[in-house]
Chain A
Amino acid sequence: MASVKLTDVKKIYDNKVVAVHDFNLEIKDKEFVVFVGPSGCGKSTTLRMIAGLEDISEGTVEIDGEVVNDLQPKDRGIAMVFQNYALYPHMSVYDNIAFSLRLQKMKEDVIYEKVTNAAQILGITEYLMRKPRALSGGQRQRVAIGRAMVRDSKVFLMDEPLSNLDAKLRNQMRAEIILLRQKLNTTFIYVTHDQTEAMTLGDRIVIMKDGYIKQVGTPAEVFEMPKNLFVAEFIGAPKMNIIKTNLLLEDGKYYVTPFGAKLPVEGEKGRMLSEKHAKPGEILLGVRPEHIHLAHPGETAIPCKLVVNEMMGSELHLHVDTNDGTRLIVRIPTLDLDSAERNALVSGHEMHISFEGKAMHFFDPTTEDNLLV
């Protein structure tokens, strides 16, 4: 159990490509932090620098208060689970898990106890004598986790551990990782490109792009108050609708005017705009698909035409085109509509949509930063 602190960490490859820029982060003891971002954003590189598998070009990494920049991976007190499991194919499951303990020259009876204990927690006791190739993907991942578990390490690193599994197994393993975390009660750093994993697993999420941290926050923070347009679009599925529109200030009240409608910015968001003295003018307005609802024609309703209706089971994903051709996505719970309304939602159907002030996010069109943060 330990804290991890990264100070001005930078990764520059030999070909002068900078993979990670000035990464600053303090991870508290027993915290579960998720690095998330698209491919090539530097999340795995950062994790590998913490693990000692990648040289740190600049800055320092501290584990438990000790600078580990020049320590070998084995001396850093970490355990790691790899994306492709990295099980030793020529060893049985038992030997795979026992490998690190044998290198520590532990006694065989201690090893036996530790391995069987880990196997019991992970439910792989019956496969201990099998070779990895005789296991399914989920079982292999459990072995990889078991191998990391027995090391009693201070920090648990996981590099996209679920991305090689099918969707159903991934959901199951995600829940198991949450349980495992409760059992192990240690510091976790988890890398993923899947925002659902990030949201469900992390105490805090670090969202990265092109080697830069775009935001660090709890799942609720990054969802409700994204710091910039990138985070707003990255977190949430389907992604947030972004509308180029104007912010008006009339009689001390703010309005937005998307596609000819005039929607008041009421409630907390309106108050925050006032406090920040937001200047009227062109803005990028963000609205999540689930915060848009169907509406009757009126000043606060946006006319649009249905293009595609995706039936997802519990909800409908409506892809609509507004009068200037902007494509928006609207998420409507299936139960909100009666069957006649649902049947009317066919391609070409003319309709109106609207949303409340509390659902709005405002971004500067040049800097793409959230106006309220």
Chain B
Amino acid sequence: MSKNENTLKRHMGLKAANRISNFFVYLLLIIISVVWLIPFIFIVLQSFRVESTYQVGYVIPQQWGFDNYLKLWNSDFKVWYLNTFIIALASAVLITVIQLCMSYTLSRFRFKMRGPLMRFMLILGMFPGMLTMIILYRVLSDLGLTQANAVPGLILVGVASSGMGYYVSKGFFDTIPKSLDEAARVDGATRFQVLYKIILPLAKPIVIYTILTAFMGPWGDYVFARYVAFGTSSGYNVAVGMYSWLTNDQIARMYTTFCAGGVIVAIPVTILFLCLQKYYVEGVTGGAVKG
């Protein structure tokens, strides 16, 4: 056998081995995806079941329809959904503005106590937020921002400490050369114009990452929301409101409606993620690697 044939054979062998290993890798990934998707498919299917409203022993509905969605429309769900949307949107805007300004300041300015301040915030951020719940409730209650006024109260809670989440975006800003800021300042830009016209367009992934995480937090919040709204339906967000359907006396009537609510709640987040997935991944990895 000539040398060339030997090389060719080795090459072919390598190609076949690659194919086999790829086959198993993809098979595993497909299995994981299916397992991961099962609960979602299950909830979607349940939400279209009209023959009964309680939990049943089968997955595919016998009768299909939009009854559960209509029931949602006629319940307090509208209020809860709006509450959640207002809280999430306001938090997303305010948290993003505060966090990006904070990150830019810590990345670009040098001032006394900058280092200790950053370490202090990092350490403070390591304590679970739950620890502050009692005192926060006290403060909100004194301000009259609980129960029926839970929406502004929850926005305040979400936004209050948002500057402390500076590290991911600061890490990203640190990778943008300072000479760009300097060139823009020589060109006549103010500090704000530098941030807004130069840095933010270059930090698009991290801006989107910040918006998404700032939106997602309040969107899925349960513990704080329940604590602050405390028994007043008009102050509930979707998570708290829908959980009230899962009590022993309600679950038989509301189970399929609960599933329909779950689907409606998932829609905006899913759309956001589908559109911005690319930036989100860049933001997470960019911040993590370079931070």
Contact = CB atoms under 8 A, between A and B. Distances in A.
B183 interface: yes
Contact of A103 (B182, B188, B202): B188
B179 A104 contact: no
Contacts of B110: 14
A87 B180 CA distance: 7
Contact of A73 (B177, B186, B202): B186
Interface in A172-197: none
Interface residues of A, number: 24
Contacts of B182: 51, 53, 73, 80, 82, 86
B268 interface: no
B92 to A, nearest CB: 23
Contacts of A53: 182, 185-186
A72 B193 CA distance: 14
A74 B202 contact: no
A112 B110 CA distance: 38
B184 A51 contact: no
- Chain B binding surface SS class: helix
B183 A103 contact: no
Interface in B154-199: 177, 179-180, 182-189, 193, 197-198
A89 interface: yes
B201 interface: yes
Contacts of B193: 103
A88 B198 contact: yes
B61 to A, nearest CB: 50
A82 B185 CA distance: 13
A86 B201 contact: no
A52 B183 CA distance: 11
Contacts of B179: 82-84, 86
A151 B201 CA distance: 24
B203 to A, nearest CB: 10
What class of interface size applies to chain B in its complex with A? 10 to 19
A74 B187 CA distance: 6
B33 to A, nearest CB: 35
Contacts of B198: 88
Contact of A88 (B180, B185, B186, B188): B180
Given A53-B182, A89-B202, A84 B177 contact: yes
A99 B177 contact: no
Contacts of A72: 185
B183 A82 contact: yes
A147 B187 CA distance: 8
Contacts of A86: 177, 179-180, 182-183
A90 interface: yes
Interface centre among B179, B186, B188, B193 (most CB of A within 10 A): B186
Nearest to A54: B182
Contacts of B201: 90
B183 A80 contact: yes
B177 A74 contact: no
Contacts of A84: 177, 179
A86 B180 CA distance: 5
A373 B188 CA distance: 45
A88 B183 CA distance: 9
Nearest to A90: B201
A78 B186 contact: yes
Nearest to B201: A90
A301 interface: no
Contacts of B186: 51-53, 73-74, 78-80
B187 A103 contact: yes
A72 B188 CA distance: 9
Contacts of A14: 110
A100 interface: yes
A263 B15 CA distance: 79
B177, B188, B201 interface centre (most CB from chain A within 10 Å): B188
A126 B138 CA distance: 66
Contacts of A83: 179
Given A73-B182, A86-B183, A89-B202, 9 more contacts: A53-B182, A53-B185, A53-B186, A74-B186, A88-B198, A99-B187, A99-B189, A99-B197, A103-B189
Closest 7 CB pairs of A and B: A100-B187, A86-B183, A86-B179, A74-B188, A103-B188, A73-B186, A90-B201
